[in-house]
Amino acid sequence: MIRFDNVTKVYARGARPALNDISLEIEREEFVFLVGASGSGKSTFLRLVLREERATSGTMFVAGHNLSTLSNWKVPSLRRQIGAVFQDFRLLPTKTVFENVAFALQVTGRPRHQIRSTVPEMLELVGLAGKEKRRPHELSGGEQQRVAIARAMVNRPPILLADEPTGNLDPTTSLGIMRLLDRINRSGTTIVMATHDDEIVDQMRKRVIELETGDLIRDQSRGVYGASR
Ligand SMILES: Nc1ncnc2c1ncn2[C@@H]1O[C@H](COP(=O)(O)OP(=O)(O)OP(=O)(O)O)[C@@H](O)[C@H]1O
């Protein structure tokens, strides 16, 4: 589903690579934690997958697209295959919960009747039934993240990227979000989640990929946050 072959990303000439010669493969339906200290390259990894940045060298494949040769006009079709959620939720503040999720369907040109039926289904799935008319400021942080997840998943992308999705949430709320992500993964979505949350990584026991100043230093199945090395 995602493959990196000797991928290096250098942001500015002469700077140390943000990612250095990374090769790995993430299979369909895997759940992968991306861990590492601040600045180790986790967000860069996710930005490359989304084609928000281009690799300086190496080859990448995402959902059947070769990103090295993908022309710019095909980037929207790549992005439709990828849902993304972030630490700061990134909801539209003036729109309701329903409208925030519906927006993701409108921009892909879905007909109105489909939006009317799909959005409530998705909100039910993330545990927000009955809150359709609220605006983001009328929701808790955990509920806002659920809206963001509903929006990311409403087009049923095969891949979900999550950049510190529990970074602004307390431990109990974080656990609820992780249960939801686990359920989404079990229903067939490949998930890559960058995180600093050691408790969550240690509890979930999924594949762990650790970066250190741009190098891949650990790739462990059923891994923990910090392996004794
Ligand atoms: N747009 C940019 N221009 C130049 N350098 C950048 C840019 N974005 C990131 N970097 C550098 O690349 C390296 C990796 O950064 P990145 O944001 O990928 O790390 P991270 O692991 O996601 O960190 P954090 O956990 O703090 O989010 C850092 O040295 C950072 O300063």
What pLDDT is attached to residue 108? 87
Global pTM? 0.95
ipTM of the assembly? Answer: 0.96
Summarize the confidence of residues 118-134 as an average pLDDT.
96
Least confident range of 72-76, 175-179, 225-229: 225-229
Q: Quick one: tokens of 195?
A: 């995180």
Distance from Cα 216 to the centre of ligand 1, integer Å: 15
Percent above pLDDT 90 for the chain: 95
**pLDDT digits 0-9 by tens, 61-113:** 999 999 999 999 999 999 999 999 999 999 999 999 999 999 999 998 899 99
Q: Could you tell me the pLDDT band of residue 228, with boundaries at 50, 70 and 90? A: low
Instruction: For the beta carbon of residue 134, count every other beta carbon within 10 angstroms.
Output: 16
| Nearest protein Cα to ligand 1, atom 11 | 18
- Can you tell me the distance from the alpha carbon of 204 to that of 208, in angstroms, rounded to the nearest whole number? 10
Distance from Cα 150 to the centre of ligand 1, integer Å: 27
Residue 145 beta carbon below 6 angstroms from any ligand 1 atom: no
* 58 in Cβ contact with 21 (< 8 Å): yes
Domains of the chain, start order: 1-81+157-223 (3.40.50.300), 93-156 (no CATH)
Summarize the confidence of residues 2-9 as an average pLDDT.
98
Residue 12 beta carbon below 6 angstroms from any ligand 1 atom: yes
* Conformation bin of residue 97: beta by default, left when phi > 0, alpha when psi is -120 to 50: alpha
Summarize the confidence of residues 152-177 as an average pLDDT.
96
180 has a pLDDT exceeding 80: yes
Name the residue with tokens 């700061």: 88
Q: Could you tell me the pLDDT band of residue 15, with boundaries at 50, 70 and 90? A: confident
Mean pLDDT of the chain: 95
CA 71 to chain centroid, in Å, comes to 23
